[in-house]
Each structure stands twice: as structure tokens, then as C-alpha cells.
Amino acid sequence: MPKNVNAAPPKYDVKIHSIHPEGTMRANASVNIYGDFAVRGVKVMEGAKGLFVSMPSYKAGNGEYRDICFPCTKEAKAEFDSAVISAYQQTLAQGQSTAKRQDSAAPKQEQSKCQSMAGM
């Protein structure tokens, strides 16, 4: 049986653009929904109850912030938030594994330099 060539793209394609280890804003992200609609300016925030997703917003005349775009149901909001938080956590994990690989490679490089100098 042939594979479906027109397979649907992932529902949410999340790109984490920058990570901020300090402060309440932890990351900036963009989300592509079904390959049809993109949302930029999504933020991963750290609050008293843990991580949450903040949608792009503007400051209204009364001083309150209003979301520019948003999921329309609780279920859609939960799915959207889960996709963004998951991408953020994966990006953090990849960064830590990259840092560990670089740290473990550094002593080997230093050791090989010392060995080559010892032979002089």
C-alpha cells in the first residue's frame, strides 16, 4: 500500500528564537499552525505557578493588555500552550547536551595539545 504523499503537516510547528535564563520572560517563539497561519511574538513566561505561554498583545487605553490573537477554546489553548512549552523544554535540553559535549571536548583538546608539546 503506498504511503500518503500528502500527509498533513504537524499541527503546531514551534520555533524558539531566544532563551532568557534570568527574569520572568524565558523565551520568544513563533508558531506555525498547520502550515497555514503563523503567530509571532509568543512568549514563554515564568510565573508563581510555573511556566505559561503569553500571546502577542497590545496595551489598551485603560492600561490593560489585550491579546492580539488567541485560541478560541480551552482545549485549543491547552494544545497550543503544551506545544510551545514542550518546544521550549526541548530547546533547553538540546542546549544543555550541546554544552556538555563542548565541555567534554575541551579537556581532550587541551590534553592533545599538551601531548604534542611534550614531544617537542
Q: What would the pLDDT profile of 76-116 be if each residue is shown by its tens digit? A: 999 999 999 999 999 999 987 665 565 555 555 555 544 54
CATH number at residue 70: 3.30.1120.40
Please state the length of the chain: 120
In a domain, 113, yes or no: yes
Over residues 70-78, the mean pLDDT reads: 95
In a domain, 46, yes or no: yes
In a domain, 43, yes or no: yes
Q: Is the dihedral of CA 25, 27, 30, 31 positive or negative?
A: negative
Tell me the pLDDT band of 32, cut-offs 50, 70 and 90: very high
Residue 73 structural domain: 12-118
User: Under a CB-based contact definition with an 8 Å cutoff, are residues 27 and 99 in contact?
Assistant: no
DSSP-derived 3-state class of residue 98: helix
Q: What is the pTM of this model?
A: 0.73
State the DSSP code for 62. T
In a domain, 5, yes or no: no
Share the mean pLDDT of the chain.
Answer: 84
Tell me the pLDDT band of 5, cut-offs 50, 70 and 90: low
Q: What is the number of structural domains in the chain? A: 1
